[in-house]
Structure 1
Amino acid sequence: MTIRWLGRADVLAAGGGDFAAALDDVRAGFALIAGGRATMPAEISVGLGPREPAMPGARAYALPARLDGERPVAGLKWTAHRPPLDDGAPSILSTTTVNDALTGRPIGIVESAGLTVMRTAAVTALALETVAPQPLRRIAVLGAGQQATGHLAMLAALAPHLAPDLAEIRLWNRTAARGEALVARFAARLPIRFVGDIDQALDGADAVLACTAALEPVLPVEAVRPGRLVAQIGHHEAPFAAIDRATQVFVDLWGPFAEASGKSLFRMYRAGRFAPERVTADLAAMLAGAPRPGPDEAVYVSSFGLNVFDVALAARILARAEALGIGTPLTLLDRPWEAP
């Protein structure tokens, strides 16, 4: 019995950077969720770093899921949000293991930090496609880290479909040098410029993609307004008063993670400031034909990030890698176990 290992180069060679395919995976995943054919138990986590002093945010998370699609699969995403170390390694390391859900046989293990960025941006693409109240001519992107980079790459790949009349992207970041470097990276593919003031970035934007790593709100309260979609991708970027201004609120899903997640909407819920009944719909319902917001609606989207999509993307990549002979087969079982 063998299991296929895919490092990051293998993942990319097998189509891991294909945003159109990732968007298809997300659509199919939401259809399975709506049909009761996807399972997502609650995540569990353990702390990382020294016990004393405790390091907030340094944790490892286990996120299991099962999808009963054309090829039923079960998988586990294991992600380490590392303590702050000056060792040159990424701050987040992630792998996803996939098994055949009918037989339990292992299929493979993939390096999946990049796939997480892909599926997160693909969910945002679906939100732009289904719940944006206005045609997308101007988009504000907040942040210059991994998620902002992934969302700009998504826009570069899918803008002809999502925003055929896109005229401008304004990028804001607290550190100007990082923001300007990211703009330079995408200047040949997108009508993008850096602005040093967040209000200037938001001015006239039809959509705001908040992709920062902020642990406290950075969005102005007035960011949520009629005729605009605000998608919160980061951790705790939105003040409660901004969410209160939304006339329609969308989530990828409302689940047990609402009781523990640090996302702004779920914090607001646990503070008794937001009732789940205020959620207009989840994205699965929108794909099933729920009415699109009108042009004067103030739309807020909270994207939690569902592990079914991590497993779906990993399963597709592993299938293609097998067909193309990409990756490293590792021997899992080659003889009966004999105790020494």
Structure 2
Amino acid sequence: MTTLGVRCLDRAQVTSLGGGDFDAAMADIVDVLALFEAGQARMSPECVLPLATDDRPGYAYGLPAWVGGRFDAVGLKWSLHLPPQGVGQPSSYSTTLVNHLDGRPRGLVESGLLTAVRTAAVSALALEYAAPGPLTRVTVLGAGFQARTHLSMLAGRFPGIERVTIWNRTPSALAWATQRAWPFELVVAASLEEACKGVDALLCCTNAERPLVGEDAVAADRLVLQIGRNEVSFAAIERFDAVLVDLWGEFRLTSAKSLFQMHRAGRFEPARLAATLADLVAGRWRPVPGSSVYFSSFGLNLFDIALAARLLEAAERLEVGSWQALLTLPGESP
């Protein structure tokens, strides 16, 4: 008889298996993009379930994808996003369910950390390949998990950065950043305007419902990364010399990302798109020195499935996590 089941990994186990490894995540993303272009990886548009009630609005998202090659995975990321909760309480929860491509169950992975690392790894690739000039001064907007993960990514991946400026609408929410040592000078800006002055890259990691980055943030030799949902104004996007995305997909018809809202409003045509993330990592596009570049990071479920599959492979090999039987198949008849 054969027993099929799933291996469950909690946040601590994900961390112990390398879930916070930016280099590994970047390598996963590069491989997945090559598989996608070769027809060996696919994803479907997200399924959105509104959770709105009078006192508790929110959304649940189902994000399916499959990835071949070394990942051998088909899966679903299930993510719930709620309004800001109390101090110390998360406003989102993510879990990824993975099967082998032949259908056999594989595992269930807590994916809050993986989501943040995946997003920061995409940002690292954009900073590496899409910045029009040297990166010595960077600003990070926001104080949540994405902002924290991006600061860690900058510290670990870009030794040439000399100063990082941080800003948040609630300055006290940045206390965590000032209480640890960084390999660069860390400055807390008193205003958004101050935070955007004289920087080579601007990383927008906020939960802003309305644009907070306007035309004055567009400058020569500057890369602006939009990680949050609706942070950059249409007028600002129109002024950038080059507009990039991780992928121009069907999700542009429903996503609340600034660029896709702009497209649906008839103010951004696909012909104006300079490059995708695949173009960047394949070397098919590089920025013009002195130009202004905008990168919209949607967040591809292809990457979520791949990262979870890599950790599950390691967990199986090292016997990490709890294994739960699901189904016992009868043996072959003599």
Asked if 2 retains the 8 angstrom alpha-carbon contact of 1:49 and 1:82, the reply is no
By how many angstroms is 1:316 displaced?
0.5
Q: State the partner residue of 1:144.
A: 143
* TM-score normalised by structure 2 residue count: 0.94
The number of residues matched between the two structures is: 327
- Counterpart secondary structure, 2:119: helix
Task: Pick from 20, 24, 46 the counterpart of residue 43 of structure 1.
Answer: 46
Distance 2:19 2:285 in 1: 32
Task: Pick from 3, 6, 9 the counterpart of residue 6 of structure 1.
Answer: 9
Distance 1:320 1:145 in 2: 29
Q: State the partner residue of 1:202.
A: 196
Distance 1:86 1:200 in 2: 29
- Counterpart secondary structure, 1:4: strand
Measured at CA, do residues 111 and 140 of structure 1 come closer, stay the same or move farther in structure 2, by a change above 3 Å? same
By how many angstroms is 1:188 displaced?
3.5
What do the CA deviations read for 1:176-229 (whole angstroms, capped 9, x no partner)?
Answer: 1112x1322443343212111112111110000011110001113111222100
Distance 1:250 1:49 in 2: 32
Partner amino acid for 2:30?
R
What do the CA deviations read for 1:145-195 (whole angstroms, capped 9, x no partner)?
Answer: 1110110011121113xxx2x11000011111112x132244334321211
Asked if 1 retains the 8 angstrom alpha-carbon contact of 2:17 and 2:311, the reply is yes
Unaligned runs of 5+ in 2: none
- Counterpart secondary structure, 1:333: strand
Measured at CA, do residues 71 and 177 of structure 1 come closer, stay the same or move farther in structure 2, by a change above 3 Å? closer
Distance 2:44 2:275 in 1: 21
> Which of 71-80 and 286-295 deviates more?
286-295
What do the CA deviations read for 1:77-134 (whole angstroms, capped 9, x no partner)?
Answer: 0001135665964211110011101x10011000001100000000000000111000
- Counterpart secondary structure, 1:148: helix
Asked if 2 retains the 8 angstrom alpha-carbon contact of 1:236 and 1:264, the reply is yes
Q: Which runs of 4+ in 1 moved over 4 A?
A: 83-89
Q: State the partner residue of 1:20.
A: 23
Unaligned runs of 5+ in 1: none
Q: Does 1:172 align with 2:167?
A: yes
Asked if 1 retains the 8 angstrom alpha-carbon contact of 2:208 and 2:229, the reply is yes
By how many angstroms is 1:303 displaced?
0.3
Task: Pick from 279, 301, 319 the counterpart of residue 273 of structure 2.
Answer: 279
> Which of 76-85 and 224-233 deviates more?
76-85
- Counterpart secondary structure, 2:302: helix
Distance 1:111 1:133 in 2: 36
Distance 2:88 2:324 in 1: 28
Measured at CA, do residues 319 and 276 of structure 1 come closer, stay the same or move farther in structure 2, by a change above 3 Å? same
* TM-score normalised by structure 1 residue count: 0.92
**Once the two structures are aligned, what percentage of the paired residues are identical?**
49
Distance 1:225 1:275 in 2: 22
Asked if 2 retains the 8 angstrom alpha-carbon contact of 1:186 and 1:192, the reply is no
Measured at CA, do residues 174 and 206 of structure 1 come closer, stay the same or move farther in structure 2, by a change above 3 Å? same
Partner amino acid for 1:31?
A
Asked if 1 retains the 8 angstrom alpha-carbon contact of 2:67 and 2:306, the reply is yes
By how many angstroms is 1:35 displaced?
2.0
Measured at CA, do residues 289 and 195 of structure 1 come closer, stay the same or move farther in structure 2, by a change above 3 Å? same
Measured at CA, do residues 35 and 329 of structure 1 come closer, stay the same or move farther in structure 2, by a change above 3 Å? same
